[in-house]
Amino acid sequence: MQLAASVRESIVEHALEAAPKEACGLLGGRTGPPATVQDSIRTPNVASTPTRRFEIDPEALLAGRETFIEKGVELIGFYHSHPNGPNEPSATDLDTARWTDTYTVIVSLSGSEPEIGAWLFTGEAFEPKQIAVQTKPTDGDST
With bands split at pLDDT 50, 70 and 90, how would you rate the model's confidence at 98? confident
The helix/strand/coil state of 67 is helix
pLDDT at 99: 86
Which has more confidence, 123 or 103?
Answer: 103
Quote the CA–CA distance of 124 and 111 in Å, as a whole number: 29
Residues carrying an active site annotation:
22
Task: Evaluate whether 106 touches 89 at the Cβ level (below 8 Å).
Answer: yes
Mind listing the pLDDT tens digit for each residue in 32-84? Answer: 889 999 999 999 999 999 999 999 999 999 999 999 999 999 999 999 999 99
- The pLDDT, as a whole number, for residue 26 is 98
Which residues, listed in sequence order, are joined to residue 116 by a DSSP beta bridge? Answer: 107
The DSSP symbol for 33 reads: S
User: What does the DSSP 8-state code read for residue 20?
Assistant: T
Cis omega (within 30 of 0) for bond into 34: yes
pLDDT of residue 17 exceeding 50: yes
Domains and CATH numbers, the chain: 2-134 (3.40.140.10)
Checking if the pLDDT of 142 tops 60, the result is no
